[in-house]
């Protein structure tokens, strides 16, 4: 009787142990099948690159979002978008709060000291946006005036460059809509904004006008930013080149910029 009881207890332990092993293996298998996630930092105030159409939803959409999702799909990543102020994007990369940045960011030498950049994926130029009834028609007309720029943007550098030859006061704001409001309220005489972004405001508001900030189109263009030494840079560059060669990138440009 003792032998029978002992045998039954041992059998029960073996069965329970086997069940536990099966459950653990199933959990591990399930985890390994999940898509890898990359967190992408952006500043969702920069239509048509990245913005929220509040009339439709609270989802961040735009050219950069479509590009990130296309590249992520090709490389087997799920892209999670995180909205933040433009001026905090590079520090977010450095502190590993995000894995990459797509936010219409230009790869300046100063930024390249802290992050790695992909190849250029889009090139635009800067405009000076003013009130339509303003007498400011050229950069020279900015003499004695106040110009707004987005904090941490390449347009901030462009304004400082203008200030070297023209007596202009430069002020910054965190978001593009703030620049537009400052012009309309009369606190800013103008603002330097990338052309495709400015066009969105100009098309909807005939109280605004604009002219080129530079005669020559020598702007640096936009690139994807990664942490220094990241192996993602090479991977994304390879797929970005394939999108250029196949015409898929041009299709996104036409979809969002219409050119």
pTM of the model: 0.70
Task: Give the pLDDT of residue 28.
Answer: 31
Which tens digits make up the pLDDT trace of 10-48? 444 444 444 444 333 333 333 334 679 999 999 999 999
For the chain, list the domains and their CATH numbers: 36-123+221-257 (3.40.190.10), 126-212 (3.40.190.10)
Percent of the chain with pLDDT over 70: 84
Which tens digits make up the pLDDT trace of 236-252? 999 999 999 999 999 99
Average pLDDT (169-182) is: 96
Q: Are 63 and 42 in contact (CB under 8 A)?
A: no
Which tens digits make up the pLDDT trace of 93-145? 999 999 999 999 999 999 999 999 999 999 888 999 999 999 999 999 999 99
What is the rounded distance in angstroms from the CA atom of residue 50 to the CA atom of residue 82? Answer: 11
Q: Are 191 and 119 in contact (CB under 8 A)?
A: no
The answer, yes or no, to whether residue 159 has pLDDT greater than 60, is yes
Short-list 63, 69, 67, 71, CA closest to 234? 71
Mean pLDDT of the residues in the chain = 87
């Amino acid at each position: 009787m003792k032998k029978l009881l002992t045998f039954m207890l041992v059998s029960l332990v073996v069965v329970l142990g086997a069940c536990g092993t099966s459950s653990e293996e199933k959990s591990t298998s399930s985890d390994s099948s999940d898509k890898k996630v990359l967190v992408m930092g952006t500043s969702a105030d920069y239509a048509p690159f990245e913005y929220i159409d509040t009339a439709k939803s609270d989802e961040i959409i735009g050219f950069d979002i479509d590009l990130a999702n296309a590249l992520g799909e090709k490389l087997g990543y799920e892209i999670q978008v995180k909205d933040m102020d433009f001026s905090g994007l590079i520090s977010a990369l450095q502190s590993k709060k995000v894995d990459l940045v797509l936010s219409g960011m230009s790869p300046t030498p100063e930024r390249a000291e802290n992050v790695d950049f992909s190849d250029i994926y889009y090139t635009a130029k800067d405009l000076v946006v003013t009130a339509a009834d303003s007498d400011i028609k050229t950069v020279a007309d900015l003499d004695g005036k106040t110009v707004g720029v987005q904090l941490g943007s390449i347009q901030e550098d462009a304004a400082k460059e203008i200030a070297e030859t023209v007596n202009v006061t430069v002020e910054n704001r965190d978001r593009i809509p703030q620049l537009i409001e400052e012009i309309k309220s009369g606190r800013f005489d103008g603002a330097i904004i990338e052309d495709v972004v400015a066009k969105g405001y100009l098309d909807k508001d005939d109280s605004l006008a604009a002219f080129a900030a530079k005669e020559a189109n020598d702007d640096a263009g936009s690139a994807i930013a990664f942490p220094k030494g990241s192996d993602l840079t090479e991977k994304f560059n390879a797929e970005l080149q394939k999108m250029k060669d196949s015409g898929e990138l041009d299709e996104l440009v036409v979809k969002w910029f219409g050119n």
